[in-house]
Amino acid sequence: MPTVSSEELAAAAGVNSAKLRKDFSYLGSYGTRGVGYDVEYLVYQISRELGLTQDWPVVIVGIGNLGAALANYGGFASRGFRVAALIDADAAMAGKPVAGIPVQHTDELERIISDNGVSIGVIATPAGAAQQVCDRLVAAGVTSILNFAPTVLSVPDGVDVRKVDLSIELQILAFHEQRKAGEEAAAEAAAVPAAATRDESADQGPDGDVPAVMPA
């Protein structure tokens, strides 16, 4: 039976092992002294606490390039999320399979949510359509929304929204690159005076004086 120690987990997570053991105690997982934690049971406990041990039906609205990519993402099922339906406003898309799931028209949105007991919706529409789609999802009973549309959604109390903005993530990376470039430039600038000082020292005599020029 594979096990892992709190020290190994703490090192991998970059945290203190004592704090990690305390946090795990809230899950009811205390481990065995000298042995560690049963990996399979620990994964189950964490998954249970995150709500990943049950089936979560999800609808994706907006089956363009991004929506199709999300539909084809294989990581959802392994985390307990089942894509129950793909929905798009384009009538020409209706019936076409994407990732093995036939696309349905937005006219069916409310029925789809009701029939599948959906509480999580993913919006991958253009910005202009996102709020209307959001309103319909909420009215149909969806209480959690993952928003990929480049706009801020307005929702009532009790509805959770997570926004994924790829441009912001790229801006964050650009900021870090700019900061690193500035640090490298500063380091190079600091190295120049040091090199000049070493050259001046090489020209001095043993007592620190510049030696006289000997006649030819």
Q: Is the pTM of this model over 0.75?
A: no
114-158 pLDDT, tens digit each: 999 999 999 999 999 999 999 999 999 999 999 999 999 999 999
* In contact, 120 and 60? CB cutoff 8 Å: no
153-208 pLDDT, tens digit each: 999 999 999 999 888 899 999 999 999 999 888 888 887 765 566 655 555 555 55
Residue 68, CA atoms < 13 Å, CB-side half-sphere: 7
Q: CA torsion angle for 184, 187, 193, 195 (degrees, to 10)?
A: -90
Alpha-helix residue ranges (DSSP H) falling in 50-95: 65-71, 75-78
Nearest to 46 by CA among 10, 79, 77: 79
* Comparison of pLDDT for 16 and 50, the residue scoring more: 16
